[in-house]
Amino acid sequence: MQIEIPLLRNFIGGDWIPSSSGEVIISRNPATGEEISRSQKSTVQDVRMAIEAAENSFNTTDWRYEPSRRADCLHSLVKKIRDHAESLSNLMTVESGKPIRVSRFEVARAADIIDYYSGLCRNVFGRATELSRQSLDLVVREPVGIVGIISPWNWPLVLLVRSMAPALAAGNTVVVKPASYTPAINIAFFQLLSTINEFDKGVVNCVTGPGEIVGSELATNNKVNMISFTGDTVTGKKIVQMSSNSIKKLSLELGGKSPSIIFADAQLDNAIKGCLSGAWLSCAGQVCYASTRLIVHRKIHAEFVRKFKDQISSLKVGNGLDETVDVGPIISETQLDDVLNYIETGKQEANLVIGGRRLTEGNLSKGFFVAPTIFDEVRQGSRIEQEEIFGPVVTVSPFETEEEAIQMANNTIYGLAGSVWTKDVDTAIRVAKQVRAGTVWVNSYSSIPPSMEYGGYKQSGIGRMLGLEGLHEFTEMKHIGLHISS
């Protein structure tokens, strides 16, 4: 099947349906400004239609009772994605701007996550116990029901399937609201899914449109039993408020400001490589777990900054379709302005080492490009050290003692990820245990296997995605107490 991106429609109850608004949203390539797609600017009525389709499917089909069919469906989806990997990757790059090698990685990873959960469909287990001669007590896991999935643009496939695959594996039906910047890649994914006949109609639905309309309706609608949201912490707080009237189950994967602690005995070249890829190489710093706060021991601080700067000078910024490009554009003009404002603030708060400006030379003038930027001697508590910039900007702050490094690492509202760089295994474990974050890497960065739980402490989120717990998020537990007559 050829993936074509004409006028994109909503996928509701197994059919491709235009919005009742008659209006569209145009997505553009952030590297060139070219139009990529026109998707539906959906209304509350469209969302309600999708919720009804999901509810109807949950109540009237055997989807939730047939784990082996669910496994088959997910398995077929994996195959479809792998068969169309290159066209999906190209579309992802032109729509999100990320380098093509990163898009290829993302498409492969999305397939891998679905593959992992297809294997878990038949492993949704509860417990059984004997509490007396006359009883048998069971705890069973059941699907939550109708799950609303609201996803961001920066890893548009991985973050969609990270919620959708376990939700389906557990027997739920879903309504997806993709990010408004990246509807085409998500609709292309649903086009592939729609060719798998074993999916009951209405098990999976997708409605595009503004968060304030489509996302809000999902978060407030009484029939939606759970929201799995990935996005900004500010939006996450709105989801909590909006969903409170109907007391929905919530899974929230929110923002981050992840620290990397580099000790004096670290293998410096490895640490620099890790910080570089953790900060910039996947999505121009627009990554929730990006290693954006580098906390470096005073003894090696000057050498670290010098070598780090050298590495950054050699990064190629440009259109992600160019195979040699390391860093792509910022997603939108609004986000570009935010990043440039943070950079101006940084110039008042710290020492600019490199970067610090928009890039407009040659073809770069057509897109939203920012030079990879380092600020040094960044004061604790300053804005660029505390707030998620979501662009190619890192801060460096020196430390003297281990205790001070840990205090600095934990000194934000976030707790998504972090890393520790040292050759001393005791130091590594001691520090990793004290960093208040859902993931801590030691002498590496960015490895997120499908089988390992991922999520945030503090204001970085609620609950865990991936792994077995990522499946359990999408279940309710029921106690069934059996009385046995003698």
Q: Which residues bind ligand NAD (CB under 6 A)?
A: 150-155, 159, 177, 179-180, 211-212, 215-216, 219, 230-232, 235, 238, 253-256, 288, 388, 390, 416, 456, 461
* Amino acid at residue number 205: N
206 in catalytic set: no
> What do you get for the CA distance between the two ends of the chain, in Å?
62
Whole-number Cα distances in Å, 241 to 247, 295, 371: 10, 35, 37
Q: In this complex, which beta carbon is closest to ligand NAD, that of residue 271 or of residue 288? A: 288
> Considering beta carbons, is residue 73 or 204 the nearer one to ligand NAD?
204
Least separation in angstroms between residue 153's CB and ligand NAD is 5
- Cβ proximity to ligand NAD: between 219 and 406 the closer is 219
Q: What single string gives the DSSP state of each residue in 53-104?
A: HHHHHHHHSSGGG-HHHHHHHHHHHHHHHHHTHHHHHHHHHHHH---HHHHH
Supply the minimum distance, in Å, between the C-beta of residue 229 and ligand NAD: 7
Q: Which residue number, 332 or 411, has a Cβ lying nearer to ligand NAD?
A: 332
The residue among 27 and 230 lying less far from ligand NAD, judged by its C-beta, is 230
Rounded to whole angstroms, the Cα distance separating 362 from 360 reads 6
Instruction: State the number of CA atoms in the 13 A half-sphere of 379 facing the CB.
Output: 9
- Taking the complex as a whole, the smallest distance from the CB of residue 475 to ligand NAD amounts, in Å, to 20
Minimum separation from the CB atom of position 300 to ligand NAD (A): 29
Bridge partners (DSSP) of residue 262 are 296, 421
- Of 230 and 427, the one with the shorter C-beta distance to ligand NAD is 230
Which residues are registered as beta bridge partners of 351?
376
Is the CB of 181 or the CB of 263 nearer to ligand NAD? Answer: 181
Cβ 253 to ligand NAD, closest distance in Å?
Answer: 3
Residue closer to ligand NAD (CB basis): 294 or 428 = 294
175 contacts 54 by C-beta, under 8 angstroms: yes
With H, G, I as helix, E, B as strand and everything else as coil, classify residue 401.
Answer: coil
Task: Report the Cα 200 to chain-centroid distance in Å.
Answer: 27
Q: What is the closest distance, in whole angstroms, from the C-beta atom of residue 179 to ligand NAD in the complex?
A: 4
Instruction: Please give the structure tokens belonging to residue 313.
Output: 């000078």
28: helix, coil or strand? strand
> 247-286 burial by CB neighbour count: b if 16+ within 10 A, else e?
ebbbbbbbbbbbbbbbbeebebeebbebbbebbbbbbbbb
For residue 37, give the nearest of 178, 159, 236, 143 by alpha carbon: 178
Active site residue 275: no
CB of 313 to ligand NAD, least distance (A): 27
- Choosing from 106, 288, 385, 473, the catalytic residue is 288
> Measured between alpha carbons, how far is 229 from 288 in angstroms, rounded to an integer?
13
Sign of torsion, CA 435 441 446 452?
negative
Which one of the listed residues 55, 106, 253, 388 is annotated catalytic?
253
| CA 221 vs CA 50, 215, 424, 427, 441: distances in Å | 12, 10, 52, 49, 39
> Residue 123 CB, nearest distance to ligand NAD (Å)?
24
Cβ-proximal residues to 426 (8 Å cutoff; 6+ apart), any chain = none
Catalytic residues: 253, 288
